[in-house]
């Protein structure tokens, strides 16, 4: 009988700090105002010089790195790849179902109550756009058994090949056909995910502190060269009105950024491990860990709720970023949004903490189809936003996700054909 491996507390801390970083950045970024019946939105990180913050606050590389390590460790203890895929796919999809149900109803209800159309459209887009992560992460999960086999055979050559493929895609994106860059949603994040395999096996985890700092310097140095000499933007998140985005679509420079961030995290590993021995950080890890996906899914609806009340109902306008009023208002804004998020998690977090189960043994091919179907639906929602109109596309996209979840829980059995 296979046993579960001891939890790697370093990965727990990295995942927790990453999700907290995502939440705080998204809550602190909006610059909002409501004048003449129109909601205007800006980004605090467009403030001159603030792009440097994004080299650390863009933590998606760490999320995929930690996910890669955790996926390889858990796959190796699973009874089979199909069993592992079934648990992973169900656990990823179940928490998103209540989010879809809410956002296919709430916009119409608010419109019927007289809410203005333009802010509703912005809210629906904001709530859906972050589903891109779940869509792409599902693809990395589906690819994990194959990538694990490739890792055993070719080792570091696998992330290197993926990085080279990402660089070639960027050449096509910038010189030939811009939309080709979206292929890097696969190559970039699979490359970073693959680096997590090397941590799980000790090649990165055993680095000394000087070695980790050297890795960080190499990663950030390469990123700086790519920004200075290449076509890449200085900001590691997408900025409104910017001619180039490193995130939409993902750019190859995110791989070198990931190496820099991983090096820093590994250098800080002893200090991070020390956090787990303190009661308050340990309690935070124990609470956030089982709710990781729920925190991610519901932190933007929490922002939408606070913004709607403050900006539309109370006529609040965000002070100029970096000014004293902005600095004084930010902790209050974060605290209020945090309270709303906690309330949402009390209602919807149970869908993730209650581990989904499936009685059937699901064929691997069916699970792969379910994952691809769900990824398609989630990408459709991320690209188009939610809508209150039942006949619109979002209902179709949400339906694909629901069908995918059902396929991950029940084996499709062939219909018997009566003999002639």
Domain that holds residue 211: 9-26+36-90+128-356
In a domain? residue 180: yes
CA distance 203 to 350: 37
Q: What's the pLDDT score for residue 419? A: 59
Look at the alpha carbons of 123, 125, 127, 130 in this order and tell me if their dihedral is positive or negative: negative
Q: What's the pLDDT score for residue 413? A: 65
- Give the ranges where 207-348 is alpha helix by DSSP (H): 209-229, 253-267, 269-275, 279-288, 292-307, 324-348
Q: pLDDT of 74-129, one tens digit each? A: 999 988 899 999 999 999 999 999 999 999 888 888 888 877 888 888 888 888 99
Query: What is the token pair recorded at 93?
Result: 């999809």
CA distance 125 to 240: 15
Q: What's the pLDDT score for residue 179? A: 93
The count of domains in the chain is 1
Q: How many CB atoms lie within 10 A of CB 266?
A: 24
Query: What is the token pair recorded at 371?
Result: 């994952």
Q: What are phi and psi of 185, to 5 degrees?
A: -60, -25
In a domain? residue 403: no
Ranges of residues in the chain whose predicted pLDDT is under 50: 1-4, 388, 390
In a domain? residue 65: yes
Query: What is the token pair recorded at 133?
Result: 């992560």
For residues 93 and 406, is the Cβ–Cβ distance under 8 A?
no
In a domain? residue 398: no
Q: pLDDT of 35-52, one tens digit each? A: 877 899 999 999 999 999
In a domain? residue 320: yes
Which of 35, 27, 30 is CA-nearest to residue 46?
A: 30
What is the Cα Rg of the chain in Å? 22
For residues 66 and 339, is the Cβ–Cβ distance under 8 A?
no
In a domain? residue 396: no
Please, which contacts does 338-341 make with residues 24 or more away whose CB atoms are closer than 8 Å? Answer: 338/302, 340/302, 340/305, 340/306, 341/23, 341/295, 341/298, 341/299, 341/302
In a domain? residue 158: yes
Q: What's the pLDDT score for residue 109? A: 86
In a domain? residue 260: yes
């Amino acid at each position: 009988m296979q046993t579960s491996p001891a939890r790697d507390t370093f990965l727990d801390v990295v995942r927790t700090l990453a999700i907290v970083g995502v939440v705080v950045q998204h809550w602190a970024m909006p610059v909002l105002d409501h004048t003449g019946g129109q909601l205007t939105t800006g980004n605090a990180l467009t403030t001159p010089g603030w792009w440097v913050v994004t080299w650390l606050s863009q933590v998606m590389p760490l999320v995929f790195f930690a996910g890669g390590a955790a996926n390889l460790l858990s796959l190796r203890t699973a009874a089979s790849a199909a069993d592992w895929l079934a648990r992973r796919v169900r656990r990823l999809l179940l928490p998103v179902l209540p989010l879809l149900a809410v956002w296919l109803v709430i916009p119409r209800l608010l419109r019927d109550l007289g809410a203005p159309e333009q802010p509703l459209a912005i809210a629906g887009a904001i709530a859906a756009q972050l589903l891109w992560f779940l869509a792409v992460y599902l693809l990395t999960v589906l690819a994990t058994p194959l990538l694990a086999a490739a890792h055993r055979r070719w080792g570091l050559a696998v992330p290197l090949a993926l990085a080279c493929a990402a660089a070639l895609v960027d050449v096509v994106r910038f010189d030939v056909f811009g939309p080709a860059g979206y292929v890097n949603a696969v190559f970039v994040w699979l490359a970073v995910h693959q680096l997590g395999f090397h941590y799980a096996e000790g090649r990165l985890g055993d680095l000394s502190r000087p070695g980790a700092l050297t890795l960080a310097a190499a990663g950030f140095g390469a990123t700086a060269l790519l920004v200075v000499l290449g076509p890449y933007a200085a900001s590691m998140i997408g900025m409104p009105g910017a001619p180039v985005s490193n995130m939409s679509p993902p750019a190859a420079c995110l791989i070198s950024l990931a190496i820099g961030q991983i090096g820093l995290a590994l250098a800080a590993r002893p200090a991070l491990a020390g956090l787990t021995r303190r009661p308050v950080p340990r309690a935070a890890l124990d609470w956030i860990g089982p709710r990781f996906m729920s925190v991610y899914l519901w932190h933007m609806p929490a922002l939408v709720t606070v913004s709607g009340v403050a900006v539309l109902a109370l006529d609040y306008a965000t002070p100029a970023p970096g000014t004293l009023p902005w600095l004084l208002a930010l902790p209050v804004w974060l605290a209020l949004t945090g309270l709303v998020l906690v309330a949402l998690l009390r209602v919807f977090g149970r869908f993730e903490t209650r581990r989904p189960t499936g009685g059937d043994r699901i064929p691997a091919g069916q699970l792969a189809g379910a994952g691809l179907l769900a990824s398609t639906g989630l990408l459709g929602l991320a690209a188009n936003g939610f809508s209150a109109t039942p006949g619109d596309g979002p209902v179709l996209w949400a339906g694909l996700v629901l069908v995918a979840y059902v396929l991950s829980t029940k084996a499709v059995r062939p219909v018997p054909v009566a003999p002639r």
